[in-house]
């Protein structure tokens, strides 16, 4: 089987979908059958570490490098070589391409009001919907997303495959106390405990409410913790002003740190006392599962796929308000028995969500589509 992969999300820092692609490639290198090959189409050359060092994987730079939707819609279809199936790992496929395609739809964020600006439904939503309808199969990471793809994109259930995403085998608790101490010192200048959020500070992630909740927590309980926001501030949120407003200007740190290898973030998770994930909507959350795999108790919101991932394994609030988040975080930080129970349940859940299963399930869908084409 020869698979073409739209890999433009591997260009630059591999957040979110970029890491999803990297982990698929890593495990496909292990489990692919003899004769399987993969061609990665990108608008720019990729870093060497982004692709397995194997003859089964080949990168093909397709120029010119223009804006994403233009490149994928107009440039790429003219340059795709003979492949059995083309895989769009990031919501979209080139609608003009006449071959067989599979698309991964990780979430339908517009299903939740307020998760995106008004223009999103006039731009991305039509493209995502058309891609899901055009592809032979749609891969989703949860039952929640399956229902949303049916409802909002009009794709029948018999064309949708649920393939749970997961966590890499390297994400585990860290027993090196000196490494954990150095990690806390690195971000706060002293051996200070902290609460952690990892991800893009996008609209649906409710970072302003998290900062407000952290301020409530500090005022009511006098905790010594800092708040570490690890990821790009894509909306240009006034984080410093928000921290000053809530009286925590000296305790909030936001960094867009780039790790040469994603495993570098493991001590950042492991050194945290609590993982806070106040997202209003998700089709899945890689960072939530990574935090649980590192033994960090979590507070999150009882919404969409997060409920499927972490119900009973994290402390959930019904609404991501400052009061609700502050109350939940206080419960976890102040109750050692609850914290220990969440840690144990989170570790157990993470063990059931492994990337090799994700890679195998995804490859099986691609193989089925390729075999249907040959038949």
Confidence of residue 112 (pLDDT cuts 50, 70, 90): low
88, 170, 161: which is closest to 358 by C-alpha?
Answer: 161
Same domain, 323 and 300: yes
For the chain, give the percent of residues with pLDDT over 90.
75
Question: Stretch 104-122: mean pLDDT, rounded?
Answer: 68
Same domain, 330 and 367: no
Confidence of residue 36 (pLDDT cuts 50, 70, 90): very high
- Quote the mean pLDDT of the chain: 92
Same domain, 195 and 113: no
What CA–CA distance (Å, rounded) separates 165 from 359?
9
pLDDT (tens digit per residue) in 141-195: 999 999 999 999 999 999 999 999 999 999 999 999 999 999 999 999 999 999 9
Report CA-CA distances (Å) from 232 to 188, 200, 202, 256.
18, 5, 9, 5
The domain that holds 334 is classified in CATH as 3.40.50.2000
pLDDT value at residue 216: 97
- Bridge partners (DSSP) listed for residue 39: 4, 58
Range of the domain at 103: 2-166+355-374
**Residue 82 domain-assigned?**
yes
**Residue 171 domain-assigned?**
no
**Residue 14 domain-assigned?**
yes
pLDDT (tens digit per residue) in 41-85: 999 998 888 899 999 999 999 988 887 788 999 999 989 989 999
pLDDT (tens digit per residue) in 279-323: 888 888 999 999 999 999 999 999 878 888 888 899 999 999 999
pLDDT value at residue 116: 56
Buried b (16+ CB within 10 A) or exposed e, 59-74: beebeeeeeeeebbbe
pLDDT value at residue 234: 81
Same domain, 185 and 135: no
Domain count, the chain: 2
pLDDT (tens digit per residue) in 254-282: 998 778 788 899 999 999 999 999 988 88
Asked if pLDDT for residue 203 goes beyond 90, the answer is no
**Residue 19 domain-assigned?**
yes
pLDDT value at residue 8: 92
Buried b (16+ CB within 10 A) or exposed e, 147-157: bbbbebbebee
Same domain, 320 and 363: no
Buried b (16+ CB within 10 A) or exposed e, 216-247: bbbeeeebebbbbbbbbbeeebebeebbeebe
**Residue 205 domain-assigned?**
yes
Distance of CA 198 to the CA centre of its chain: 10
pLDDT value at residue 364: 98
For the chain, give the percent of residues with pLDDT over 70.
95
Same domain, 265 and 127: no
Report CA-CA distances (Å) from 339 to 180, 207, 246, 299, 314.
18, 23, 26, 11, 10
What CA–CA distance (Å, rounded) separates 105 from 127?
12
What CA–CA distance (Å, rounded) separates 227 from 166?
25
DSSP-based three-state secondary structure for 195 = strand
Asked if pLDDT for residue 373 goes beyond 90, the answer is no
pLDDT value at residue 115: 57
* Structural tokens at position 172: 């585990």
Same domain, 260 and 190: yes
Asked if pLDDT for residue 123 goes beyond 80, the answer is no
**Residue 172 domain-assigned?**
no
- Bridge partners (DSSP) listed for residue 254: 229
Same domain, 162 and 35: yes
In this prediction the pTM is: 0.91
pLDDT value at residue 258: 74
pLDDT (tens digit per residue) in 333-364: 999 999 999 999 999 999 999 999 999 999 99
Same domain, 362 and 341: no
Same domain, 117 and 17: yes
Same domain, 311 and 368: no
Same domain, 20 and 144: yes
pLDDT value at residue 3: 97
Asked if pLDDT for residue 109 goes beyond 90, the answer is no
């Amino acid at each position: 089987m020869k698979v073409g992969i739209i890999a433009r999300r591997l260009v630059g820092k591999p957040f979110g979908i970029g890491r999803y692609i990297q982990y698929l490639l890593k495990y496909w290198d292990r489990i692919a059958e003899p004769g399987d090959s993969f061609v990665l189409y990108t608008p720019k050359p990729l870093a060497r570490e982004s692709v397995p060092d194997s003859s089964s994987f080949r990168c093909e730079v397709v120029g010119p490098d223009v804006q994403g939707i233009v490149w994928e819609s107009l440039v790429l279809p003219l340059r795709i070589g003979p492949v059995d199936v083309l895989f769009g790992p990031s919501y979209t496929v080139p609608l003009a391409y006449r071959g067989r395609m599979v698309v991964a739809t990780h979430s339908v964020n517009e299903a939740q009001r307020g998760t995106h600006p008004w223009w999103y439904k006039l731009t991305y939503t039509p493209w995502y919907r058309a891609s899901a309808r055009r592809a032979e199969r749609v891969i989703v990471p949860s039952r929640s997303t399956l229902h949303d793809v049916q409802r909002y994109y009009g794709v029948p259930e018999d064309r949708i495959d649920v393939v749970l995403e997961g966590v890499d085998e390297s994400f585990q608790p860290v027993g090196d106390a000196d490494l954990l101490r150095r990690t806390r010192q690195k971000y706060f200048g002293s051996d200070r405990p902290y609460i952690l959020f990892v991800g893009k500070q996008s609209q649906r992630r409710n970072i302003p409410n998290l900062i407000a909740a952290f301020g409530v927590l500090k005022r009511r309980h006098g905790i010594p913790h800092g708040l570490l926001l690890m990821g790009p501030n894509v909306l240009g949120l006034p984080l410093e002003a928000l921290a000053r407003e809530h009286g925590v200007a000296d305790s909030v740190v936001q960094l867009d740190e780039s790790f040469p290898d994603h495993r570098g973030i493991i001590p950042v998770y492991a050194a945290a006392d609590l993982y806070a994930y106040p997202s209003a909507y998700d089709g899945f959350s890689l960072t939530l599962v990574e935090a649980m795999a590192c033994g960090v108790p979590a507070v999150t919101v009882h919404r969409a796929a997060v409920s499927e991932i972490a119900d009973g394994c994290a402390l959930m609030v019904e609404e991501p308000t400052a009061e609700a988040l502050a109350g939940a975080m206080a419960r976890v930080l102040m109750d050692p028995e609850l914290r220990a129970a969440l840690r144990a349940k989170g570790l157990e859940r993470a063990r059931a969500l492994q990337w090799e299963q994700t890679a195998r399930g995804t490859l099986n869908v691609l193989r089925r589509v390729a075999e249907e084409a040959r038949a």
